[in-house]
Structure 1
Amino acid sequence: MNEIWAVVHAEREALIRDLETVPPERWATPSLCPGWDVHDVVAHLADDAKTTRLSFLLRLAAARFDFDRYNSAGVARERAGEPQRTLASFRAASRRTTGAPAPKATRLVEAFVHGEDIRRPLGLSRDYPVAHVTAALRYQLGAGVALGGGKERAHGLRLMATDAAIDVGEGPEVRGTTLALLLAASGRPVNSDELTGPGVPALTRDGGLHHG
C-alpha cells in the first residue's frame, strides 16, 4: 500500500503543478467526467483526499446511499469561489493517506482517470507509470459499472495492451495503450486513433470517440 500511496502523491503533485499555470477562466472547461467541469473534478479530488473511513460512511448515509448524491455533496463542499482556493485546498490535503473503505487499486484509478478528465480537455499531457496504470486497468475490468468500474463495458471483448502484458477476455479484439483502455473501460471518450480492432465500438459506446 505504501507504494500505491507514493504513486498517488506523485500524481497529485504533478496535477497541482499543471493546474498552477491554468488561467481561472479555463477551469470552467467541461471535463471528460460527464456533467463536471475542470473545477468540479479538482474539488472532487480535494474532497476525496480528505475522506476518512468514518466520514465516508457518515456522508454516504446522509446521501441515502446514493453515490451520485454523495459525490455532488463533496464537490459542493470543496469547490471554492476562486479556482486557486480550491487548488490550495487540494494541495493542503495532497499528502494524506486516508480514504474510503475501498480496494487499494481504486486510489490509482482516481489518480489516472481524473488526471486525464482534467488534462485532456485543457490540452495537457502526462506520461503515467505504465505498471500502475496496468494495475488500475485490471481493477476496472473486474469492478462493476455501478461501483465505478468497467466490467460490463469490457464483457465479451478481448483487450490487448500495446505497452504492457495485458491480454484479457475473449471476443472481438480491442488494442491500445493501457491508458486508452483504462479510459474507455471507465466510460471516458478517447481519440479515434488510440484504439484499434473490431471490438472498439462496443467498448466505447458509453464514452465514444473523439475524431480529428
Structure 2
Amino acid sequence: MHFSMHYGMYNMVDGMNMISCMIKIMHNFTLCLIYLILVSVISLSYFMFKKKTYLKFNNNTSAELVWTIMPLLLLFAMGIPSFTLLYSMESKKHSDLTYKAIGHQWYWSYEGNDIIEHNIESYMNSNVDFGMNRLLEVDNKLLLPYNSTIQMIVTSEDVLHSWALPNLGTKIDAVPGRLNSILVSSVYPGNFYGQCSEICGINHSFMPISVEFGSWKSFFMNLNN
C-alpha cells in the first residue's frame, strides 16, 4: 500500500495508527466548535442590531453570566479531550525495536543495534520519475515492521531539526546533545513521508523523511542485505 500527501489537500492526511486517528478526530472536532461559535456570534449580532434588542442587555446580570460561563464550557469541551490525547502520546509502552534517528545538515542517519548493527544514511533523491513524490523521495528508506511498536530516539549532530511523519502523528525535535524519544507504529504496510519541521539552514526544504513499513520477513531480509 502507498500513502502520500498530494497537492490540493485541504484536510489532514489519513492516520495509520490510533494516535494519528485521534489527532485527526480532535482536529475536526475543534474546527466544528470554531465554526459553530463563528456562525452563532454572527447570527446573534445580526439579529440583535437589526431589531435593536442589544439595548436590553445593558447592565443585564443574566446575560453577563451566560457569556462568561459559555466560553468556560467550550474550553472544557476542547481541553479535556486534548489533554487525554497528549497523555496518550506521552505514555510509555513496550517497544519491539529501537532505532536512533540523527539529524544532520541536511540529511538523516539511522542506527539500530537490537538484532544486528544496522546503520544507514538517508539523503534526498533528486532523480525522481513520473509518479514519484518530488522533494520527498530518498536514496535509502528506513524499513520497519508494521503492527509493531518502534521506539525512535531522536537527536541532532549540529543544529535543531525535527523528525516528523504526519501519517503516524509523529513530530519530535532533534536537539544537539539531547536524546528525545517517541513511539512509532503503523497498522498498515506502506511508504510514509515527512520532512524536517524545524528551520535548520539553507537546505532545510531538502531534508525529507521516508519510512517504509513492511512485514517482519522483509525487515529481516533488509537487515541481511
- TM tier relative to shorter chain: under 0.3
The structure whose RCO (Cα within 8 Å, separation 6+) is larger is 2
TM-score (norm 1): 0.25
Q: Over alpha carbons, which structure has the higher Rg?
A: 2
Structure with the bigger percentage of strand: 2
TM-score using structure 2 length: 0.24
- Compare the two structures and name the one with the higher helix fraction: 1
